[in-house]
Amino acid sequence: MDGFTPWPEDFAARYIAEGYWSDRLLGDVLRGDPAKTALIAGDQRLTYAELDERAERTAAGFHRLGVRRGDRVVVQMPNTASFVVVFLALVRLGAAPVLALPAHRHSEIGYLCELSQARAYVIADRHGGFDYRELARALDVEHVVVDGDAAEFTALASLDADPVAYERPDPADVGVFLLSGGTTGLPKLIPRTHRDYVYNLEASAEVCGWSADMVYLVVLPAAHNFALACPGILGTFAVGGTVVLAPSGSPDEAFGLIERERATHCAVVPPIALLWLDAATWSDEDLSSLRLLQVGGAKLAAGPAAQIPKVLGCALQQVFGMAEGLLNYTRLDDPAELVETTQGRPLSPADEIRIVDPDTGEPVPDGEVGELLTRGPYTLRGYYRAPEHNARSFTPDGFYRTGDLVRRLPSGHLVVEGRAKDQINRGGEKIAAEELEGHLLAHLSVHDAAVVGMPDPVMGERTCAFLVVRGEPPTLRELKEFLRDRGVADYKWPDRIEVVDSFPRTPVGKISKKELAARLT
């Protein structure tokens, strides 16, 4: 596939020889007993046999539309059984789903469709008060497939067809595209091959103790790497467990599902963990089935980390991961101290870690804080169709510059200490400052914009936009409406604006975001 940077030959040979990469494909992860419940979503319950059949029949339907191995299909669906069916159908065909989040709007989706040259765009009719068909009408894409009322588009239900023979993908093919949190003006796509992503989910399932008797509750967007494959939905299928899809992490919905389905495992971001700690003190729902709560996506403070086992009655696992690849997990048998105060250690013995001075690129002394660089059997070697960005994001010998500032303990565990990238982590949702600044600059009253994170007790960070204006300054409300009209996902909208006369500058003349951030504390 053009625009995809493969691993160098010698690395690929080594990953195969050492058993990290296999020939197993993403479409073959349904390994549970055929009669067992694989998936529960709303009032739908599908056995492994039923889910397999629906995936195969839907693959035949996409094939009839003309979707083939090597194609890309943008998928933007909420946590429904249809999402899982569509995902499995596409990876079986070797047509890579481009996994957008339900919150994305025209600005993001339009770009993703164009960048990926998508053959099709798959959506739910409506969700969360938004009509995705409206968005689809403004796009230039060959096929729009709708779960629900399709209007003038193709109904997902109509893609139910008798199984056909089709070309199987190669394990080295790109199986799925994940979205990067991003640091630049435009979103980036992360190609994940069948063999690297299968390794990602299978190795994770092993390290996290996934087993056939588990019930995995999904409260994060199913299209996010954490919920999908760390070990997530796919890891649960691979061990023959049961997946329960929840619409959100709100205790109102999630606690009832835990009680009703006897959920044993769940992955959340820190703001949800905090909400659960609070809600558990007054809720009368029975959470005793919960065995493990994975928390990641943003840093979990040591205080709440220590509370989780006491209040929720389950073990905690910290997860420091990225869609680009590298996953760090605290281990199930780690001492409480490490589980509470670190973000885990790398998943794979083949993960290579370097911690360097972000300015000089030189390794820092053991135990000191530096930027985390990494290379390994499930970490990308390049973003899709982004040569200039790749030249900056990777070292010449193929290490990915994570932009995370970490320190390593003698045990190998990493502690996340901050960030060297121009991004805001709003409770696990990532906002590229440059992207938001670009949108703000399009406003007639905005002469210059600089976006920084401001500390927040629940979200970790919220977004503050410093603005230099011409004429009457816009209100926060006006700016949000402006961003909505531009089709920008709402989690990227600023929480606060600060109008200033000019920006503080660094000695080389760049805007000093450090100083702007300091003004907020």
Residues that bind ligand OOB (CB under 6 A): 181, 225-226, 230, 296-299, 318-323, 327, 343, 402, 404, 416, 425, 428, 430
The partner residues of 407 in beta bridges, in order of sequence, read 415
Beta strands in 133-173 (DSSP E): 143-147, 154-155
Closest CA to 105 of 134, 81, 79, 80: 134
Contact in structure between 299 and 264 (CB atoms under 8 Å): no
Query: In the sheet that 143-147 helps form, which strands lie side by side, from edge to edge?
Result: 154-155, 143-147, 120-124, 72-76, 96-99, 174-179, 189-193
Between 59 and 315, CB nearer to ligand OOB: 315
Between 48 and 276, CB nearer to ligand OOB: 276
Look at residue 219 and give its three-state secondary structure: coil
- How far, in Å, are 5, 227, 240, 243, 517 from residue 224 at the CA level? 22, 6, 21, 15, 29
Cα atoms in the Cβ-side hemisphere of radius 13 Å centred on 451: 29
Residue 47: both structure tokens together: 């056995």
Q: What stretch of H or E contains 349?
A: none
DSSP for residue 10: H
Between 481 and 490, CB nearer to ligand OOB: 490
CB-based burial label for 468 (10 Å; 0-12, 13-18, 19+) = middle
State the minimum distance, in angstroms, from the CB of residue 270 to ligand OOB. Answer: 8
State the minimum distance, in angstroms, from the CB of residue 192 to ligand OOB. Answer: 12
State the minimum distance, in angstroms, from the CB of residue 410 to ligand OOB. Answer: 20
State the minimum distance, in angstroms, from the CB of residue 298 to ligand OOB. Answer: 5
State the minimum distance, in angstroms, from the CB of residue 395 to ligand OOB. Answer: 17
Between 44 and 411, CB nearer to ligand OOB: 411
Between 297 and 453, CB nearer to ligand OOB: 297
Spatial distance between the Cα atoms of 449 and 465, rounded to a whole number of angstroms: 7
Residue given tokens 């390049």 in the structure block: 382
Between 159 and 254, CB nearer to ligand OOB: 254
Spatial distance between the Cα atoms of 254 and 353, rounded to a whole number of angstroms: 36
Between 34 and 455, CB nearer to ligand OOB: 455
Between 156 and 416, CB nearer to ligand OOB: 416
Find the Cα–Cα–Cα–Cα dihedral 414, 417, 421, 426, rounded to 10°. Answer: 100
State the minimum distance, in angstroms, from the CB of residue 464 to ligand OOB. Answer: 19
Q: How many CB atoms lie within 10 A of CB 273?
A: 24
Spatial distance between the Cα atoms of 277 and 275, rounded to a whole number of angstroms: 6
Between 26 and 93, CB nearer to ligand OOB: 26
Between 120 and 292, CB nearer to ligand OOB: 292
State the minimum distance, in angstroms, from the CB of residue 319 to ligand OOB. Answer: 4
Q: Which residue number has the CB closest to ligand OOB?
A: 321
State the minimum distance, in angstroms, from the CB of residue 21 to ligand OOB. Answer: 20
- How far, in Å, are 109, 133, 266 from residue 126 at the CA level? 16, 8, 26
Spatial distance between the Cα atoms of 220 and 249, rounded to a whole number of angstroms: 7
Residue 116 phi, psi (nearest 5) = -90, -5
Between 298 and 315, CB nearer to ligand OOB: 298
Between 393 and 402, CB nearer to ligand OOB: 402
DSSP per-residue string spanning 296-331 = ESSPPPHHHHHHHHHHH-SEEEEEEEETTEEEEE--
State the minimum distance, in angstroms, from the CB of residue 204 to ligand OOB. Answer: 9
State the minimum distance, in angstroms, from the CB of residue 486 to ligand OOB. Answer: 23
Closest CA to 453 of 463, 443, 440: 463
Q: How many helices (H) and strands (E) does the chain have?
A: 16, 27
State the minimum distance, in angstroms, from the CB of residue 453 to ligand OOB. Answer: 11
